[in-house]
Structure 1
Amino acid sequence: MAISFESAFAGHDKFLKFRSDRSAVLANNIANADTPNYKARDISFSSAMSKAQNDALKMRSTNTKHFERATKSIKEEESLFYRVASQPSLDGNTVDLQREQAEFAQNSLKFDTSFMFLDRKISSMKKALNGGR
């Protein structure tokens, strides 16, 4: 019986990718907290999830005579959005440093949770392959 990593990982591998991308966006916001006219950005989980579902549902052609797909998948940039400032600053910067740090910490916890789940899944698979040793 073949092992399906996709079902074994239960999507946590994709969650790690999303959390890593979001971490980079939030870190960029924090780094530009004092940059005039910088607009804070974030990644929407729902749009990233719909992109992943669209990618999974893509038609695959097995013959050169097959038609091309009519609709295109969502680009990665479209899952990024500009965050609305709760307290706009005079220099046009929309980064709220405390909010960004809180979002970064929450994202980090969720990343660690998915990573621990994957680590335990992989170690249990190794254990099964080694015969319980």
Structure 2
Amino acid sequence: MANQAGTRPPPPGHEEPLPLPGDVRSPGCRSTTVKRIVRDNALSRLIKNLHDHTCQICGVRPLLPGGPYAEGAHIRPLGSPHDGYDVAGNLLCLCPNDHVLFDLGAILVQDDLTVLNRLTGEAMGTLRTVPSHEVDRHI
């Protein structure tokens, strides 16, 4: 319900009223400092090229106007607490969907390269490989 000023009353715990649908407001900006791990983008490009930008889990090769698209995914994440290495054996070539599922633990790759759906417990197949990219099975 709108008040006379054309805005909704603020919800409990908020000081400013919420805008009505159709209100256009530019977001504000603020400066921040970010510390992040710098990964080797050339290595990720190499792995994606070796797999022809084809997902090692589902076999999909997304094609965009600029060309094929894939993402380099670390098996053991970089940085603390996982302390994975930025090396070819620790990288997979994945589609965006499988990358998210892998990173968030819904998909698991076992040492024998069997891909498991952790939500259902079912095997999804075997990780696709190419001779020029050896995946480290003991990371």
For the aligned pair, the TM-score class normalised by the smaller chain equals under 0.3
Query: TM-score normalized by structure 2?
Result: 0.21
The structure number with the bigger radius of gyration is 2
Q: Which has the higher helix share?
A: 1
Q: Which has the higher strand share?
A: 2
More contact order relative to length (CA 8 Å, sep ≥ 6): 1
Query: TM-score normalized by structure 1?
Result: 0.22
